[in-house]
Amino acid sequence: MAATRIWIKNPLAVFTANAQDASGGLVVEDGRIVELLGAGQQPTAPCQQTFDAREHVLLPGLINTHHHFYQTLTRAWAPVVNQPLFPWLKTLYPVWARLTPEKLALASKVALAELLLSGCSTAADHHYLFPGGLEQAIDVQVEVVRELGMRAMLTRGSMSLGEADGGLPPQHTVQSGEAILADSQRLVERYHQRGDGAQIQIALAPCSPFSVTQDIMRASAELAEQLGVRLHTHLAETLDEEDFCLRQFGLRTVDYLDSVGWLGPRTWLAHGIHFNAEEIARLGAAGTGICHCPSSNMRLASGICPSVELEAAGAPLGLGVDGSASNDASNLLLEARQALYIQRLRYGAEQITPERVLGWATRGSARLLGRDDIGELAVGKQADLALFKLDELRFSGSHDPLSALLLCGADRADRMMIAGQWRVIDGQIEGLDVAQLIADHRQAARELVNG
């Protein structure tokens, strides 16, 4: 039987994340984009379905490249509301250590549902907590991703440097190098999909310089090369981290990264704030990517990512919402708005346009994840589409629909298509009882914090 052809017809505005024209819409068949149409053009062959997008702004599905799904259970928790990164972590680690598989499943479902409703089709999660009973954490997340029909890069995080050895995490939250590497290999062999249209991918992601040993950093880089997967970690988020690296290793952060075999195109880093000019040049030359997390960086008063210099040096740049205990939301379109504004503070209004920032959230983020099949509207790309209406009071009087998404604060997609399947219709996730999910998640959050 022939695949159904769907014409997404005549959008109000469209952002393709490239120089191509899709003002007349696009045609989807068998999960891919098969035609882009200019104004007034018709599909070259009949379409069984037509979706009239005259009231919708059309974007590629947004791509979130750094998150901690489990943290939705500790949003806006009073003891850490006013703390910077290191005290914030030390206060939260004992709470997070009480995670269970059931609580992680609820936290992941909330994070992914919130992302999906914000226009996000692909999400990277950085899960590094594996206390007793939670050894199958990534397996739990795989099931939730499949249930919601999204794409995910699930990174197998790790912590192996506990307080007893000069690290930040409590001893009962760290694992041995042997356990970390064995589980990393198991997950890649079991779940990692390759090639166009992959739904589940796995990367290796030691948490940070202050929570893993040099040995696990080196061994993870070697295993990632052997298995052909990507590498991810936090780096240069705060000056405290820089001081820690100098004290513990006698190296600045990029020197440390280089010393453990991580400075290359396989790697993308979360935050990337505190680099000097020479370090930026080295990152760019190596093709190492940076995920900008503006809300978290402002919330924890960490600093501002030097985006323009990084891009000019050749480093791929994308966006991430970061963990929901430092954002405290999982909304990628609002994250793009934050990126627009904080980067304008640093570089001025002329350089940081809505189109540039939407490019970070789509094409740039796809590059961080090593993918060229998503993040753009073009023939042959996956049919991952986000459609937004501008019919609420906040948009009244706006003139440029694309700019209005960010400037007027759009925060919810009306429609989401992933791999040619509608996953959000009229602002609602297909098949998900959101009210029940909220009730269950709130109960789990109370239990986790109260111990």
Count of CB atoms within 10 A of residue 428's CB?
11
Instruction: Give pLDDT, residue 13.
Output: 98
Total residues belonging to the chain? 451
> Which tens digits make up the pLDDT trace of 189-215?
999 999 999 999 999 999 998 889 999
pLDDT for the residue numbered 168: 81
| Average pLDDT for 11-22 | 98
pLDDT of residue 167: 80
On average, the pLDDT of the chain sits at 96
H or E segment to which residue 345 belongs: helix 332-347
Output the pLDDT for position 123: 98
Q: What is the pLDDT of residues 115-135, one digit of tens each?
A: 999 999 999 999 999 998 999
Backbone angles phi and psi of 46, in degrees to 5? -60, 145
DSSP string, 44-89: SS--SEEEE-TTEEEEEPEEE----GGGGGGTT-GGGTT--HHHHH
Mean pLDDT of 271-284: 98
Cβ-based neighbours of 222, under 8 Å, separated by 6 or more: 261
Burial 309-334 (b: 16+ CB within 10 A, else e): bbbebebbbbbbbbbbbbbbbbbbbb
**Distance in angstroms (rounded) separating the CA atoms of residues 85 and 243:** 13
Per-residue pLDDT, 1: 54
Rounded-to-integer distance, Cα 428 and Cα 7, Å: 21
In the three-class reduction of DSSP (H, G, I as helix; E, B as strand; rest coil), residue 126 is classed as strand
E-state strands within 86-230:
120-127, 151-158, 200-206
Contact 362, 375 (CB under 8 A): yes
The answer to whether the pTM exceeds 0.85 is yes
pLDDT digits (tens, 9 = 90+) for 419-449: 999 999 999 999 999 999 999 999 999 999 9
- pLDDT tens-place string over residues 69-110: 999 999 999 999 999 999 999 999 999 999 999 999 999 999
% of the chain exceeding 70 in pLDDT = 100
* Per-residue model confidence as pLDDT tens digits over 161-171: 888 888 888 88
Q: According to the model, what pLDDT value does residue 209 have? A: 86
Q: At what angle do helices 214-227 and 177-191 cross, to 10 degrees?
A: 20
Distance CA 160, CA 176 (A): 6
Q: Is 6 left (phi over 0), alpha (psi -120 to 50) or beta?
A: beta
Confidence of residue 2 (pLDDT cuts 50, 70, 90): low
Least confident of 83-87, 255-259, 289-293: 83-87
Residue 235: is its pLDDT beyond 90? yes
